[in-house]
Amino acid sequence: MHKSNSEYRKPRPTLNEPTSNDIGKKGEKRTNRILGSVLTPGSGSGRTKGDMLHGFSRTGRHRPRGYRRMIEKKSTKYNSIRLQKSWLEKLEKQAFDAGKEPVLIIEFETMTFGSTQWGLIPLSKLKELFELEDTTD
């Protein structure tokens, strides 16, 4: 017999199986260690949005003081993830409101050794990076 949506209960993880929260926290800590960023309290659920902040400028001479990038991190224990446009739109709005550049990092197979991470940035920033690299040759 088919259960209605009101009767559906998400299955509980089995013993020693990581929860989605465990996977997310491990992924954030790994990325933080690699980038040297700052984890935001509550993973951005408070006043400071985003999972991490990166690129601190003390001088403010050529750019405003503070962090330049707002990073959102998505982790999965699997080898695929369904990318949602709403993630990018939400990150873009929150980063714009805070005066920061948005970055989305996705990590595959987070709970295994040798997991892979990819960063998504707006195409305009990628173009700037290409132009900067091409002028240094």
pLDDT in tens, 96-114: 999 999 999 999 998 888 8
Reported pTM: 0.78
Q: Identify whether the C-beta of residue 86 lies closer than 8 Å to the C-beta of residue 104.
A: no
* Percent of the chain whose pLDDT exceeds 90: 50
| pLDDT band, residue 78 (cuts 50/70/90) | very high
What is the distance between the alpha carbons of residues 95 and 90, in angstroms, rounded to a whole number?
9
pLDDT tens track for 40-63: 877 666 677 888 999 887 765 665
What is the distance between the alpha carbons of residues 80 and 108, in angstroms, rounded to a whole number?
7
Measured from the Cβ of residue 121, the count of other Cβ atoms closer than 10 Å reads 15
How far does the chain reach from its first CA to its final CA, in angstroms? 67
pLDDT tens track for 112-121: 888 999 999 9
Question: What order of strands is seen across the sheet that includes strand 116-120?
Answer: 38-39, 52-57, 66-75, 101-108, 116-120
What domains are there in the chain, each with its CATH number?
18-135 (3.40.1350.10)
Reply yes or no on whether the pLDDT at 11 is more than 60: yes
